[in-house]
């Protein structure tokens, strides 16, 4: 059903797709972005992420060097062009799969890929990869009841999620769903769901539009007692948080049964409606 949901309008991903889209465009900080925009023009709206990575990665390298008993040769600081090239190469690796990272710089005729070596030396790429950081380790928060297990990625993650919303002109239909990002590392909030193809991973709740664009997202960090209350379950709070920026714009919302409840539907009926006071009913989707 989700495939059918996105097929009709995917070819006409324009700002005027539905009758209240003009209101959404007024809120967007990039109303000129559409389906014909180049990947680079979209990526440039996320430059603050690159600046964050450059600053924190250089800081982490300095902290690491200061802890060494025997001083070693200090490598040049990572620059903004370095970080952009690093991210571009990392994205390209998803399209050219090899056995190991070293293989991307292989000189063997049968396996070499000159593109990577021409844009960045292997040692420089691995240096950035080793010291890639989003947060200052010396500012680790106290492990109190409100301890954020995602603190090392929190600034970057929230910046991405905020920009997804600010720079998007979504279509009419929204979907709230949970996805599993494959991960086998050591974190307390890693999930094991045997019925899923990706059994081990990190659960992410996200709001996406029918063209496949993610508009907002949040990571499940375990039992969410803070967002739950007597009047609102944790799943209810998740849906409301994800859709809070798109209230009153005439969108239609599709949900898994996992999220649905009579109280949530009543809440959405009051808030997730257009300015003509015509409520937009949420639709429950059966997932295969």
For 207, the token pair is 């709001």
Instruction: Give the Cα separation of 256 and 18 in Å (integer).
Output: 24
Radius of gyration, CA atoms only, the chain: 22
Burial class of residue 188 in the structure, from the number of CB atoms within 10 Å of its CB (0-12 exposed, 13-18 middle, 19+ buried): exposed
Identify the H or E element spanning 216.
strand 214-219
Domain boundaries, the chain: 44-137, 173-285
For 275, the token pair is 């300015």
Report the greatest alpha carbon distance in the chain.
70
Phi, psi of 158 (to 5 degrees): -65, -35
For 85, the token pair is 């090239």
| Contact predicate 275/251, CB 8 Å | no
3-state secondary structure 63-114: HHHHCCCCCCCCCCCCCHHHHHHHHHHHHHHCCCCCCCHHHHHCCCCCCCCH
What does the pLDDT profile of the chain (288 residues) look like in tens digits? 332 233 333 334 444 345 555 555 555 666 666 667 776 776 777 788 899 999 999 999 999 998 888 777 889 999 999 999 999 999 999 999 999 999 999 999 988 999 999 999 999 999 999 999 999 988 888 777 677 888 888 888 888 888 877 777 777 788 888 888 888 788 888 888 777 777 788 888 998 887 777 888 888 887 665 555 556 788 888 888 888 877 777 778 888 888 888 888 888 877 765 433 344 445 554 443
């Amino acid at each position: 059903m989700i495939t059918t949901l996105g097929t009709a309008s995917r070819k006409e991903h324009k700002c005027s797709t539905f009758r209240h889209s003009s209101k959404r465009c007024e809120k967007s900080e990039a109303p000129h972005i559409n389906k014909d925009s180049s990947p680079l023009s979209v990526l440039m709206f996320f430059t603050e992420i690159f600046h964050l990575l450059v600053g924190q990665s250089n800081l982490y390298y300095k902290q690491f060097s200061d802890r060494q008993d025997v001083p070693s040769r200090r490598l040049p600081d990572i620059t903004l062009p370095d970080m952009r090239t690093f991210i571009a190469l990392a994205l390209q690796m998803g399209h050219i799969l090899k056995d190991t990272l070293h293989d991307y710089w292989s000189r063997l005729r049968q396996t070499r890929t000159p593109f990577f070596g021409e844009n960045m030396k292997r040692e420089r790429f691995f240096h950035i990869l080793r010291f890639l950081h989003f947060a200052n380790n010396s500012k680790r928060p106290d492990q109190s009841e409100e301890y954020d297990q995602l603190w090392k990625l929190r600034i970057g993650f929230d910046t991405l999620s905020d920009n997804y919303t600010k720079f998007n002109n979504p279509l009419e239909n929204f979907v709230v769903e949970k996805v599993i990002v494959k991960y086998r590392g050591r974190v307390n909030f890693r999930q094991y769901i045997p019925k899923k193809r990706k059994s081990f991973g990190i659960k992410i709740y996200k709001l996406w539009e029918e063209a496949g664009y993610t508009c907002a997202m949040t990571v499940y960090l375990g039992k969410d007692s803070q967002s739950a209350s007597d009047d609102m379950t944790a799943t209810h709070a998740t849906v409301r948080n994800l859709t809070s920026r798109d209230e009153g714009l005439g969108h239609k919302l599709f949900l898994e049964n996992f999220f649905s409840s009579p109280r949530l539907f009543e809440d959405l009926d009051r808030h997730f409606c257009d300015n003509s006071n015509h409520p937009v009913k949420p639709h429950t989707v059966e997932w295969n």
